[in-house]
A and B are shown apart, each in its own frame.
Chain A
């Protein structure tokens, strides 16, 4: 399991959406393609939940990918 996987699991256990949004963005950028869109979707959801300004930017990225 990668370091990022560990950090994601740990963040889920901590239930902090702002941290999760950042980690899923990191995962999205590290993968790309369908897997990247999957992670970016999670980043968007947790950014929304946390009320982060990044939510609008992530949504724009998803829109550019035809995913929203």
Chain B
């Protein structure tokens, strides 16, 4: 088979401040192939996608994109679409109140000599569906579609602009096994029509079954490129992990054999929105004084577990036991009163108060420490807050400043200070170093270890396996909304976490 290059990525580099997201990445996508791009969280997959879809302008990176032999510059999403890069985003965005045909052409409605005609659109949609042999009832309302059909509609929308290449961004994340198989069939059908596809994923079995070639990204570089004949789970996993991990980090190897202070049993929670996943049988225990790491990939249900423990997510079935007491009707207020403090991964939306200064940010929710009969003692308040911020080395010109002018690391320390002044028994940390620069990361790890040393039990969610494994005394692995593995730090490493997260074991 003579391979014709459809899209070539040449020496593509992109950095954000001091962080290199992509470093001289070279990729070649050949006509009629399904080419998998794999990588851990933070490997550079999403930066690559954003550059290929025009969300980041080509001029903001260095290197070349060559489409059908011509160098292209992408200035915007619509520019990328026009030039022939079709994009199927991770989220299924379908308007239920419109027909399938209208959904296919949404944002780009064709007109019949300047006049919008539904029949015209139906005809065009039917032509498209026939051409690619998609299973879609174009005149039906989207509300009647199955999940798999919705996904197909998204693909049809991308195909409607006659793309040279189709980019599918983790399309199976929100699909059931059956729906994922339907999708695979659709993709095989498209390949038969000579459509070239880039398949972004972290599920290795799908790659083995479906794809013709696979590229693994790691730390912004191409770590491995394999043809179908060379595919192997071991090769892909070891290349995703790399060898750069800090092996001498044995600080967390200590086995903490405290009593169980928190137990989750058979937790089930339905999906609550487009950004969340359902929990489907989660079991875990937290021992007093330990740091428990929740491992697994993005979308495996880690954040949702913290939601259940902090009382934000109401239980459907399952049992939470805290210090021997079964908790019924958990809500944030109640769990906070019991000493469980949650620190969000989304500082901007669920953490900081941009209308209040750092002192008031720190004391939010802990006003009782310095008030009598509801009247605040602001002198004592600033004493408490400033002491907490100083002990966490928050760097700011003034503690009366608002949080918007702090760096990510310092914002995170302010939120840690807020958590600490209420003297939590259990601290839940969701991606504690997200958006924090490398220097401040170590400081935050130190803070977390100090919190542990003071007797607080900690649950950490971290996508960075190095971070997770250097902090956690014990690890619970999440995959597909289930807790699938639990081990002492000394008994496992990144491979053990990844094996489950990538669907190799389940």
A binds B: no
B positions within 8 Å CB-CB of A: none
